[in-house]
Amino acid sequence: MSGRSPEVLVSAFLALLSPDKLSPDIIIAGVKNMRAHALQFPINRNGVIDIVGTGGDGLDTFNISTSAAFIVASCGVPVVKCGNRSSSSKCGSADLLEALGANITLDLTYSSEIFKRCGFCFLFAQKCYASMKHVGPIRKQLGIKTIFNVLGPLINPCIPDYQLTGVYDRSLGLLFIQCLKRLGVKSAMIVHSEEGMDEISIQGKTHIWHLKLDGNIVEFDVTPDNDFGIKKQNLSAVISGSPQENAIKLNKILSGGYECAILDHVLINASAALVITGRAKDFRDGVVIARESI
């Protein structure tokens, strides 16, 4: 992270730390090291949630977690979302927010003031973790998934109390939820759909690992119709466009009166965040609350 190690040594280190070889101890050590190199975000994290995914699922769907974050914040739940530009899809969270006109490179002091005023802010990962510039080019040259594909959703500088996190591979689910528990997160859900999506699916079954407030971890499956009261839709109806196209659709959704599969997909994921934070009693209640906030 300091840039002092030879590139060949860093490459070998990253190649050895592939996601399938990681343990909770290794991931937690990585999180703590990243936090030690991060810019500090001066806010009270009490009650804050981050809604984020690992990316890398290859499905290139709409910015569901970013859209859900706006709705969850409008329901009175404080949201600090940490994200980046797209590396493999058409539009990452940072790309979408830029298309909406946001200044994603604000100093964190200004970001904290925005958060205090409206209960929502976005932290640009490249700004918070500037030392990653020493590793980024090497990761691109390697062209394989490494520990950094796993660390991203776990290193929000805010250190939120709650998390809704999607993973691109089911094998990461239990690993992630165990790490979040050991890192002191109060409650969280890790989600992975049967289509491989790092979000709760609008099409079919999604497996959830739920860290409850009492510290217990439970696993279960959900579907849009049975658990959320939302009609199933094909993933082809929620495919991403360009940042500008996605920004137009999100503005329509947040303005109300725009019924579409993307809205339903966003409501499902917003509902889960509301359940995690105790704002909703169950997923169907969460959908109602989220829809009413729009």
What does the pLDDT read at residue 144? 75
- The DSSP bridge partners found for residue 50 are 163
Residue 125 lies in a domain: yes
Residue 218 lies in a domain: yes
What does the pLDDT read at residue 70? 98
Residue 2 lies in a domain: no
How far does the chain reach from its first CA to its final CA, in angstroms? Answer: 42
Residue 19 lies in a domain: yes
Strands of the 49-53 sheet, one edge to the other: 120-124, 79-83, 49-53, 162-166, 187-193, 206-211, 217-222
Radius of gyration of the chain (CA): 18
Residue 87 lies in a domain: yes
Which residue range forms the structural domain that includes residue 61?
Answer: 7-293
Residue 114 lies in a domain: yes
Structure token digits, residue 124: 């640009």
Residue 1 lies in a domain: no
Report the distance separating Cα 138 and Cα 281, nearest Å.
Answer: 45
CATH number assigned to the domain comprising residue 262: 3.40.1030.10
Q: Using 70 as the pLDDT threshold, list the residues of the chain that sit under it.
A: 1-5, 87-88, 131, 133-134, 136
**Domains held by the chain: number:** 1
What does the pLDDT read at residue 1? 53
Reported pTM: 0.92
Structure token digits, residue 282: 């169950």
CA 113 to chain centre: 22
Residue 163 lies in a domain: yes
